Amino acid sequence: MAVKRPPLGRGLNALITMDDLKTSGSSSISEIELNKIHPNPDQPRSAFDESALEELSASIRALGVIQPITLKEIEPDNYMIISGERRYRASLSAGLECIPAYIKKAEDENVVEMALIENIQREDLNSIEIALAYQKLIDSYGLTQDRLSERIGKKRATIANYLRLLKLPAEVQMGLRDKKLEMGHARALLSVDDPKVQLELYELIQTEGLSVRQVEELARAEDKQDKQPEEEASVKEPARKPIPPQEYNSLKEHLSSFFNTKVQLTCNGKGKGKITIPFASDEELEKLVGLLDKMK
C-alpha cells in the first residue's frame, strides 16, 4: 500500500496537495516507498555522475523531490523504474523513505520502449547511450529509422548519425561516452574507413588536443591518399611504417627544446601532417627565423 508523506518543501507543500494531483490518461501520482522500487535492468543510461548525484541529493534533502519519477507496477507493492533513476538514487542517498511517482498502466512489452524513449526525450543520455538506445528500439520492436523518427520526434538523419557511432572501435566509443572527444571528432573519424587509422587519430586527439577541424583535415588527407589510382600508387615509394606515437612525442619535445617554445606536431597514419611553431611577439618570431637560418 502506498504511504503518504510530504515530499516538498514547506512553502511548496502549502500550495500543492499531492493527494489531489491526478494525470490524464493512464497514470496518477502516488507516494511510493523506496524499498518497493527497483531499477529497470534495461535502463539505457549506464553512467551516473557522482558529484551531480550528490548535488541533487542535497537539493532533495532541502526541498524534497519536486518532479515525480515514473514507475510501472509489476506486482502488488513492487515497482520498476521507467524514468527517474537519478532522482531515485539521490533520494536514497538523502535518506528519504518515499518518493512521488507516476504509476503507468503500461503493457509489459511496452515498458522498455517507454524507458528508452523517455530518457532520450529528456536528453539525459550521452551520445553512445543514445545510439545504443536507438539500436535497442530498432532490434527489439522491428522499427525502421523512419518509424523511430516519428515515435521520438527526432529527424531520421539525426538517428542515422547516432547509429553510425556504433561502427567506431570500442576504445573510441568509450572515449566518446567519457567525454574524451566531442561528437564532431567522432563524425570526422567515421569518414576514415580503416579502424587502425581511426585509433591513431583518436590517440592524437588525446595527446595533442586536436580540434575537430584538425581531425577533419587529417581525415580528408587520409581519404584523398586512399583514393589515388592504383597505377599512380604503384610508381611511388613503398609506404613507410607509421612512426609510433611515443617517437612523435620525443620528436616534439626535441623541437620544443630547440626552439624554446611549445611545438605542436600532428601526423596521420600515412605519415602526413604538420609542425606548428607558435610565437608571442615580433621578437620571438625574429629569434625563430634566426634559428631556421642557422639550420640552412
Answer yes or no: are the C-beta atoms of 223 and 192 closer than 8 Å: yes
- Nearest alpha-carbon partner for 123 in 11, 44, 16: 44
d(CA 134, CA 174): 17
Cα 130-136-142 angle, rounded to 5 deg: 130
β-sheet bridge partners, residue 22: 28
d(CA 283, CA 295): 19
CB atoms closer than 10 angstroms to residue 228: 10
User: 14 — phi, psi (to 5°)?
Assistant: -70, -25
H helical segments located in 209-244: 212-226, 230-234
**Long-range contacts of residues 220-226, Cβ cutoff 8 Å, at least 24 apart:** 220/191, 221/268, 221/270, 221/272, 222/192, 222/194, 222/197, 222/268, 222/269, 222/270, 222/272, 223/191, 223/192, 225/270, 225/272, 226/193, 226/194
Answer yes or no: are the C-beta atoms of 68 and 107 closer than 8 Å: no
- Give whole-number Cα distances, 62 to 22, 48, 95, 96, in Å: 25, 21, 12, 11
d(CA 100, CA 19): 11
Q: Is 283 a catalytic residue?
A: no
Q: How many C-alpha atoms does 277 have within 13 Å on its Cβ side?
A: 15
Catalytic residue selected from 50, 54, 55, 85: 85
**Annotated catalytic sites, by residue?**
85
